[in-house]
Chains A and B, each alone.
Chain A
């Protein structure tokens, strides 16, 4: 700007200055360019002596004063030129260091004087961002518009972006830099902008985390947590939930409490809430692998593939925190398989097989590896403000958060740099030491990791998860005694996982009874969705077999009592029941069961798996559009869940029903109807990549689909139908009414009363009703009891009571009903309205409830000599 002024002034000289003044002006300009400001000042003054209104000389003089430190003199000259744009701009620059608001006002004045000036609005944006971010954004956009595609002043851009960031306008700040980079990817400040954006991403994530506030549970809460787990294991979800809500209310910074709460929420089908609780647990304890692991499995198992990316990320985070967690390695492989990331999946499975040559998934993992290597290239496919921590300054906490984010991004070097800086200022902070241990572990420095954990545990011994992690490292290094001690300490602190690890160690030590004791504790305290549960159950089976052998050897010694005892042992170990058991023990659930199974037939089978008949043909005939279309129906999309997810939801709802009635269901493994369907749907899920990318489908997929169609559409559908027809149908016979009548008559209330004979007008062969026998008996007993009570007020000889039966077909729906009519001629009033409004006795109310439960109705029809209480119930049909 300054040279331009000189040039401009020189051009004007010719017109307005006399020759002498012109000579002085030229000399002044020349001296200024030569940075001989003293001479320039003298020459400018001479010009102004001869021509006081010559603005270029005033500007030059002010400029030179300012440059020589005579700031006030310069300002005075500029202030005397209130309508000169160059003077205003120069004045703004001069005053800004001491008075930014005045500078802002000057740029705004400049904007008004020269609306085409591109620099003024940019400076307004820069200077107003601290006081008025919205104004700054407007000015910035206006300046960009004026520039019309020319690159803006990089420093101003950065100043605006940083100012917005500082004012908490993160999105707007990122937007400024993002737009700049999109438009000028090689611009003046492009590199800085990129770096800044990366850093902001990290900081935002760190801020979301709000990490570092974890606190251990007190004894009372730890006990409550253990109680809650037992309640949950026993199926008492509601009490478990209440207990845990109490714990998190009292100890909101205890990750274990949030984690346990998440388990309960998941067990009760509240997947979203479970996710939030685990996120929060992970936020409180970012160095604990358990929470990202659980989140990863939640994403993988409950969203039918829609959140596999997040599942992968979470599982990788967990593995970074606990690299020896082989189960997760396998699950990661499964997720990557579903994502179509074949190389990564193969690597994960290979890592699993290497770590677990005889593990529970080894056979599966080897098969996957084989398949993957055979396959051609297929490419388918609450935050909270951080809590201040005593002794940890806020800036250190901030750095810790950044370290956590780097760790999650697997940027090990930056994570280490940050955490080392944190530890320089807070050397004994357990959270930072635990993170350092994790980094050391990842780098293969087990000694250093153990040392870091030692320091951490010295500062805070109540870290059960850290003890479990430490124990597993010790075990891997051959220090079994040390590992056992650490696991036992973790168990004392209420850690559930440690029981499983102790069981595994006892099993390895050939101590089946000790293993069994640990497993019992684990299975009693863990929820059905616990990560280690499948492993524990598999181990439990092995342990049981071994115990069986040991006991059998004892029995072979000749003890009959031993056989009985063995039977009891085996029975005690058996877990989970089929739906039959639930219906047998709690007949009142029949209608809920019927409704859910009907929904499975309708929502899972009817509308979806019937497509399986068509897809193989389409696949073989190259109708890939049809196959892909079917894939969306089967596996879902962003909006609609796939059928496996729907099926899972129905199973969960049945399992919850079971828990409410004290029956633990294992529908996925034990139920003769649903377990095969579950297995078939699991196989179908594994074909997802083939159907979504039929061009790359593997050989044999069509045949597999046909087999699955048979399993689901024929076997599954028919088995469901048979079950539905079997449960809840009872023949209504004359004997049923006579038996109930006999019972009622002998009740104490009717002792000595002269009751009329019940006239039963029911066909001898009976009619099947869709109702439970016990419920129908209760309805009958209550209605007869009501009638007899009312009849006591009438002359014995005149008392009449009867029950008759009629069949009716609904003319529109074709549905048939049976109308059971209970007649009596007792005095008194009873109307349908009284029944509807519940203005009735307890017995009649119970009858109404039972009838309603079976989709029936109850009404009163008055006749001249009495009333008919009519019970309508659906007629059961005999299937073809």
Chain B
């Protein structure tokens, strides 16, 4: 099972490789652009996405529109983009026609309406809160794979 892990660091990929392993194979993409390239070049069964990207140099999203939305302040717009980059990446992946089930690492427990908005638009989608360890992640990946067709 090939999982595309989209994160701006190496934390998830390394710990998954260390503690999850087979039957999963983890491939990392460091940005939305890399994720799109990887999906275009190879086949993946699942997506794993981080939400916050504060180390990536290239971010997906319309920065100009966001600046307009943030009282003309580029710094705030950029921070918004960083804080929510996972959602932008997911949107771009879906727009590019890739429908693999996705697992996001984000505390949607505190924002259930937001999660429902995203799932309605970009499902199949599940999430894990920040404290989920590798084994919980493994269980969630398996659950996503074995989900009934929707």
Judging by beta carbons under 8 Å apart, are B71 and A879 in contact? no
Min CB distance, B25 to chain A, in Å? 18
A836-B71 contact, Cβ under 8 Å, with A601-B107, A607-B9, A814-B121: yes
A8 in the interface (beta carbon within 8 A) = no
B6: min CB distance to chain A, Å: 15
B133 with A611: CB separation less than 8 A:
yes
Q: Are B130 and A877 in contact (CB under 8 A)?
A: no
Q: When the two chains form their complex, are residues A721 and B110 in contact, meaning their CB atoms are under 8 A apart?
A: yes
Q: Which partner residue on chain A sits nearest B14 by CB separation?
A: A629
User: Is the CB–CB distance between B133 and A812 below 8 Å?
Assistant: no
Name the residue of chain A whose CB is nearest to the CB of B111.
A877
Contact code string B58-90 (vs A, CB < 8 Å = 1, else 0): 000100000001111100100010001001100
Which one of B39-47, B112-120, B142-150 contacts A?
B112-120
Number of interface residues of B (CB under 8 A): 40
Report the Cα distance A875→B87, complex, angstroms: 18
- Interface SS of B by simple majority: helix
List the A residue with the shortest CB-CB distance to B54: A602
Q: Which of A318-326, A738-746, A851-859 contacts B (4 or more CB under 8 A)?
A: A851-859
Q: How far is the CB of A834 from chain B (nearest CB, A)?
A: 12
With an 8 A cutoff between CB atoms, is A809 at the interface? yes
Q: How far is it, in angstroms, between the C-alpha of A879 and the C-alpha of B108 when the chains are bound?
A: 8
Point out the residue from A606, A614, A714 that lies within 8 Å of B105, measured CB to CB.
A606
Contacts of B130 in A (CB 8 A): 601-602, 605-606, 610, 717
Closest to B91 in A: A812
Per the bound structure, the CA–CA distance linking A602 and B86 in Å amounts to: 14
Q: Which of A608, A614, A813 has the most CB of B within 10 A?
A: A813
Shortest C-beta distance, A606 to chain B (Å), equals 4
In the complex, the answer to whether B87 meets A813 with C-beta atoms within 8 Å is yes
CB-based nearest A residue for B85: A813
Residues of B within 8 A of A89 (CB): none
Give which listed residue, A614, A633, A875, A879, contacts B112 with CB less than 8 A.
Answer: A879
Q: Does A707 contact B (CB under 8 A)?
A: no
**B79 to nearest A CB, angstroms?**
9
Smallest Cβ distance from A717 to chain B, in angstroms?
Answer: 5
Q: Is A613 touching B70 in the complex (CB atoms < 8 A)?
A: no
Tell me the residues in window 24-54 of chain B with beta carbons closer than 8 Å to chain A beta carbons: 52
The answer, yes or no, to whether B124 is at the interface (CB within 8 Å) is no
A813 contact from B11, B14, B84, Cβ within 8 A: B84
Contact at A611–B87, with CB atoms within 8 Å?
no
Q: Is the CB of B15 within 8 A of A611?
A: yes
Quote the shortest CB–CB distance from B104 to chain A (angstroms).
Answer: 11
**Nearest Cβ in chain A — how far from B64, in angstroms?**
14
Instruction: Tell me if A98 is interfacial: C-beta within 8 Å of chain B.
Output: no
Task: Report Cα–Cα, A879/B113, bound state, in Å.
Answer: 9
Most buried by A among B9, B71, B107, B116: B71
Instruction: Kindly state the separation between the CA atoms of A605 and B105 in the bound complex, as whole angstroms.
Output: 13
Task: Identify which of residues 86-138 in chain B touch chain A, using a CB-to-CB cut-off of 8 Å.
Answer: 87-88, 91, 105, 107, 109-118, 121, 129-136
Q: Which residue of A lies closest to B131 (CB)?
A: A713
B61 near A880 with CB under 8 A, answer: no
Cβ contact within 8 Å between B70 and A857: yes
Q: Is A818 an interface residue, CB under 8 A from the partner? A: no
Complex-state Cα separation, A857 to B135, whole angstroms: 41
Tell me the nearest residue of chain B to A606, going by C-beta.
B130
A815 engages B121 (CB within 8 Å): no
Q: What A residues does B112 contact at CB under 8 A?
A: 877-880
**Could you tell me the distance between the alpha carbons of A601 and B51 in the complex, rounded to whole angstroms?**
13
Contacts A611-B15, A848-B71, A877-B112 given; indicate if A814 touches B118 (C-beta within 8 A). Answer: yes
Task: Given A809-B117, A836-B71, check contact A629 B18 (CB 8 Å).
Answer: yes
- Chain B residues near A809 (CB, 8 Å)? 114, 117
Contact with B along A141-161 (1 / 0, CB 8 A): 000000000000000000000
Q: Are A815 and B88 in touch, CB under 8 angstroms?
A: no
Residue B73 contacts which of A629, A725, A852 (CB distance < 8 angstroms)?
A: A852
Q: Is A172 an interface residue (CB 8 A)?
A: no
Q: Is there contact, CB below 8 Å, between B114 and A606?
A: no
Cα separation A879 to B11 with both chains bound (whole Å): 27
B109 touches A814 (CB 8 A): no
Q: Is the CB of A811 within 8 A of B113?
A: no
B114 pairs with A877, CB closer than 8 A: yes
Closest B residue to A835 by CB, please name it.
B71
**A721 CB contacts on chain B under 8 angstroms:** 107, 109-110
Kindly list chain A residues whose C-beta atoms are within 8 Å of the C-beta of B91.
Answer: 811-812
Chain B residues closer than 8 Å to A505, beta-carbon distance: none
Chain B contacts for A816, CB-based, 8 A: 113-114, 117
Query: Nearest Cβ in chain B — how far from A50, in angstroms?
Result: 91
Q: Collect the chain B residues with CB atoms within 8 Å of residue A717's CB.
A: 129-131
Closest Cβ–Cβ distance, residue A45 to chain B (whole Å)? 88
A617-645 to B contact mask, C-beta < 8 Å, 1/0:
01000000010011001000000000000
- Chain B residues with CB under 8 Å of A879's CB are 109-112
Binary contact track A720-740/B, C-beta < 8 Å → 1, others 0: 010011000000000000000
Cα A851 to Cα B71 with chains together (Å): 10
- What CA separation (Å) do A244 and B111 show in the bound complex? 48
A602 contacts across to B, CB distance below 8 A:
52, 130
CA A835 to CA B72, docked complex, whole Å: 10
- Complex interface: chain B residues within 8 A of A852 (CB): 71, 73, 76
Q: Does the CB pair B134–A613 fall under 8 Å?
A: yes
Roughly how many angstroms separate A857 CA and B69 CA in the complex, as a whole number? 7
Chain A contacts for B114, CB-based, 8 A: 809, 813-816, 877
**Which chain B residues border A601 with CB–CB below 8 Å?**
107, 130
Cα separation A602 to B76 with both chains bound (whole Å): 19
Q: Please measure, in the bound complex, the distance between the C-alpha atom of A544 and the C-alpha atom of B110, giving whole angstroms.
A: 43
Q: A607 CA to B73 CA in the complex, in Å?
A: 30
B19 touches A725 (CB 8 A): no
Q: Which residue of B lies closest to A833 (CB)?
A: B72
Q: How far is the CA of A879 from the CA of B52 in the complex (A)?
A: 20
B66 CB, nearest partner CB in chain A, Å: 10
- Chain A nearest CB, measured from B70 CB (Å): 6
Q: Which residues of A contact B69 (CB under 8 A)?
A: 857, 872
8 Å CB interface, A687-724 against B: 713-714, 717, 721, 724
**Docked-complex contact A815 and B84, CB < 8 angstroms:** yes
CB contacts (< 8 Å) of A848 on chain B: these are 71
Which residues of chain A come closer than 8 Å to B133, judged between CB atoms? 610-614, 713
Residues of B within 8 A of A859 (CB): 71
Residues of chain A with a CB closer than 8 A to B71's CB: 835-836, 848, 851-852, 857-859
* 10 contacts across the A-B interface (CB closer than 8 A): A610-B134, A611-B133, A611-B134, A629-B14, A630-B18, A809-B117, A812-B88, A813-B118, A814-B87, A848-B71
Q: Which residues of B come within 8 Å of A, CB atoms?
A: 9, 11, 14-15, 18-19, 52, 61, 69-73, 76, 80, 84, 87-88, 91, 105, 107, 109-118, 121, 129-136
The 6 nearest A-B residue pairs measured at CB = A613-B133, A814-B117, A606-B130, A814-B118, A713-B131, A814-B114
9 extra interchain contacts, Cβ-Cβ under 8 A, other than A835-B71, A880-B112?
A606-B105, A606-B131, A610-B133, A721-B110, A725-B110, A812-B61, A852-B73, A857-B71, A859-B71
